[in-house]
């Protein structure tokens, strides 16, 4: 082994990945007096934070709870989430006087810009004495008691090595399989990965008539085989997106259908039967447009349902209408994949990690935090809450 200058090349903690989880871990460890170095191969830190929440970063969710996470062991998230709650992060945001608001359903966004969150994390890193190096691709050479890394700064040693390199989504933003590859090399189990919180695509045959609806949203209850979400869907030029579809995509399996109730608050059969009596001269299209928008109602009538005054609808006509709306059943041909996915499902098997410290059970001093781990949050700030909580958990022990 090369002889190293202990003072300059040795760190108590090296964290690979200067995203949400890595920076939170660095702050927590730095505050404990540890000598911390964060390395990132990208040219700036926190790129996903910057692009998140449409540029306003949905940095947490007030109601974040274990039920909001997908993990092969649903109990795994409990320890970290209970020790670093959304209120801890909100307190930090308030200390830095960052203006924020609740958009809906407990989702907290910056009033101004995601940059506020990155600046806050960098200020906290600075105060905790953390060193951050960007443009620093690394190789892990040894993971024994003393860990050895090759970096543009030369060979580096550390006692604790934290992998916070995130998942595979948005490769353009610097996502890599670094964490998964290292784990495989060390025989740490990695559960199969796939894109989550991602728009679905429809094959040409199903898409063609819908393309002209691109950009229109409809309030729905969207259901997969295992769960349902009350949110909007959005028609896109490739298929469907919007919060309901993104949420459902994390549970959707190839070949499955999505059941989309386009009239979530009403029993459509009863409603049409009543309208047949009350407003017999009203066109079906007009009635549907009240809820679906004019363009969606028109297209539904052109494609699948015959438009006529509701007074002329037979019981079987009503059945026909309902069968295309409550639910509208649609079978995606796939998803848009990692190119546009917000998250990666699967990853480092939580069975290999301590839920308290995020340390590898079989590799003392090696930690995995954030999205690289098989923990995926629902849409709405839960993924950052996992990044903060898991980063904080490891930061207390590294
Ligand atoms: C478009 C978009 C919008 C999103 N919006 C939200 C939102 O509003 N709210 C929410 O809760 N979640 C949101 N998410 C999800 C959220 O961004 C992630 O869950 C979160 O960033 C994961 O944090 P992390 O630190 O684990 O990984 P990341 O933030 O991805 O950080 C990983 C870091 O590791 C670095 N890295 C990768 N490979 C290497 C390597 N080989 N060597 C060195 N460094 C490496 C990367 O450059 C990156 O800086 C969004 C995601 C996307 C893509």
Q: What is the mean pLDDT of each run of 10 residues along the chain (398 residues)?
A: 58 98 98 98 97 97 98 98 98 98 97 98 98 97 94 96 97 93 98 98 88 96 95 97 98 95 96 96 95 95 92 96 96 96 98 98 97 98 98 98
Assess whether the C-beta atom of 222 lies below 6 angstroms from ligand 1: no
Assess whether the C-beta atom of 19 lies below 6 angstroms from ligand 1: yes
Residues 6+ apart with CB under 8 A from 94: none
Q: Which CATH number belongs to the domain containing residue 326 in this structure?
A: 2.40.30.10
Which ligand 1 atom sits nearest the alpha carbon of residue 19? 31
Q: What tokens appear for 104 in the block? A: 């809906």
Query: Does residue 143 form part of some domain?
Result: yes
Assess whether the C-beta atom of 343 lies below 6 angstroms from ligand 1: yes
In the prediction, which pLDDT does 183 show?
Answer: 98
Which ligand 1 atom sits nearest the alpha carbon of residue 60? 11
Total number of domains constituting the chain: 2
Which ligand 1 atom sits nearest the alpha carbon of residue 382? 11
Assess whether the C-beta atom of 17 lies below 6 angstroms from ligand 1: yes
- Asked if 363 and 349 sit in the same domain, the reply is yes
Assess whether the C-beta atom of 137 lies below 6 angstroms from ligand 1: yes
Name the β-bridge partners of 133.
Answer: 39
Assess whether the C-beta atom of 196 lies below 6 angstroms from ligand 1: no
CA 337–ligand 1 middle distance (angstroms): 16
In the prediction, which pLDDT does 6 show?
Answer: 52
Query: Does residue 186 form part of some domain?
Result: yes
Query: Does residue 1 form part of some domain?
Result: no
Closest CA to 179 of 163, 168, 193: 163
Assess whether the C-beta atom of 48 lies below 6 angstroms from ligand 1: yes
Identify which of 165, 196, 335, 358 to mutate to test ligand 1's pocket (most ligand atoms within 8 A of the CB): 165
For atom 4 of ligand 1, the residue with the nearest CA is 52
In the prediction, which pLDDT does 7 show?
Answer: 58
Within a 13 Å sphere around the CA of 362, how many CA atoms are in the beta-carbon half?
A: 9
In the prediction, which pLDDT does 4 show?
Answer: 42
The owner of tokens 């830095």 is: 96
Distances (CA, A) of 223 to 77, 87, 395: 25, 31, 38
- Asked if 175 and 247 sit in the same domain, the reply is no
- Asked if 166 and 252 sit in the same domain, the reply is no
- Asked if 172 and 107 sit in the same domain, the reply is yes
Which ligand 1 atom sits nearest the alpha carbon of residue 381? 11
Q: Which CATH number belongs to the domain containing residue 147 in this structure?
A: 3.50.50.60
Overall residue count recorded for the chain in this entry: 398
CB 120 within 8 A of CB 98: yes
Assess whether the C-beta atom of 383 lies below 6 angstroms from ligand 1: yes
In the prediction, which pLDDT does 204 show?
Answer: 80
Assess whether the C-beta atom of 57 lies below 6 angstroms from ligand 1: yes
Q: How far apart are CA 14 and CA 367, in angstroms?
A: 10
- Asked if 268 and 123 sit in the same domain, the reply is no
- Asked if 52 and 190 sit in the same domain, the reply is yes
- Asked if 77 and 159 sit in the same domain, the reply is yes
Angle, helices 382-395/86-95, rounded to nearest 10 degrees: 90
CA 260–ligand 1 middle distance (angstroms): 30
CA 142–ligand 1 middle distance (angstroms): 26
- Asked if 123 and 210 sit in the same domain, the reply is no
Closest CA to 241 of 329, 324, 340, 175: 340
Which ligand 1 atom sits nearest the alpha carbon of residue 57? 8
Q: Find out whether the peptide bond into 327 is cis, omega within 30 degrees of 0.
A: yes
Query: What are the two backbone dihedrals, phi and then psi, of residue 153, each rounded to the nearest 5 degrees?
Result: -85, 5
Closest CA to 38 of 183, 162, 159: 162
In the prediction, which pLDDT does 263 show?
Answer: 97
In the prediction, which pLDDT does 206 show?
Answer: 81
For atom 12 of ligand 1, the residue with the nearest CA is 383
Q: How far apart are CA 52 and CA 44, in angstroms?
A: 15
- Asked if 172 and 30 sit in the same domain, the reply is yes
Q: For residue 273, what are the domain limits?
A: 199-335
The owner of tokens 């926190």 is: 46
Assess whether the C-beta atom of 42 lies below 6 angstroms from ligand 1: yes
- Asked if 331 and 348 sit in the same domain, the reply is no
């Amino acid at each position: 082994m090369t002889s190293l200058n202990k003072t300059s090349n040795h760190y108590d903690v090296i964290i690979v990945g200067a995203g949400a989880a890595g920076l939170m871990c660095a702050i927590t460890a730095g505050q404990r007096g540890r000598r911390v170095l964060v390395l990132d191969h990208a040219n700036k830190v926190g790129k996903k934070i910057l692009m998140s929440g449409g540029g306003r970063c949905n940095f947490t969710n007030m109601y974040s709870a274990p039920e909001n996470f997908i993990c092969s062991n649903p109990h795994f998230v409990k320890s970290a989430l209970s020790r670093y709650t959304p209120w801890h992060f909100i307190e930090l945001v308030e200390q830095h006087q960052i203006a924020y608001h609740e958009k809906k359903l407990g989702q907290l966004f910056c009033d101004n810009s995601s940059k506020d969150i990155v600046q806050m994390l960098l200020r906290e890193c600075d105060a905790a004495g953390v060193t951050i190096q960007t443009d620093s691709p690394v190789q892990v050479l040894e993971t024994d008691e003393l860990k050895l890394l090759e970096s543009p700064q030369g060979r580096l040693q550390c006692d604790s090595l934290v992998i916070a390199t995130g998942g595979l989504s948005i490769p353009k933003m610097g996502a890599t399989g670094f964490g998964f590859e290292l784990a495989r090399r060390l025989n740490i189990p990695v559960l199969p990965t796939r894109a989550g919180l991602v728009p679905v695509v429809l094959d040409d045959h199903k898409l063609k008539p819908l393309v002209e609806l691109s950009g229109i949203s409809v309030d729905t209850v969207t259901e997969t085989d295992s769960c349902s979400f009350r949110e909007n869907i959005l028609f896109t030029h490739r298929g469907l997106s919007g919060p309901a579809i993104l949420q459902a995509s994390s549970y959707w399996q190839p070949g499955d259908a999505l059941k989309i109730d386009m009239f979530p608050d009403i029993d459509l059969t009863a409603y049409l039967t009543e309208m047949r009596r009350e407003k017999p001269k009203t066109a079906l299209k007009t009635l549907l447009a009240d809820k679906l928008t004019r363009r969606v109602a028109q297209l539904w009538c052109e494609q699948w349902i015959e438009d006529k005054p509701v007074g002329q609808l037979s019981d079987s006509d009503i059945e026909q209408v309902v069968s295309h709306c409550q639910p509208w059943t649609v079978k995606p041909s796939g998803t848009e994949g990692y190119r546009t996915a917000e998250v990666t499902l699967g990853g480092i098997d939580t069975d290999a990690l301590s839920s308290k410290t995020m340390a590898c059970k079989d590799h003392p001093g090696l930690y995995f935090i954030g999205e690289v781990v098989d923990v995926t949050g629902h849409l709405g700030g839960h993924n950052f809450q996992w990044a903060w909580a898991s980063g904080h958990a490891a930061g207390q022990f590294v």
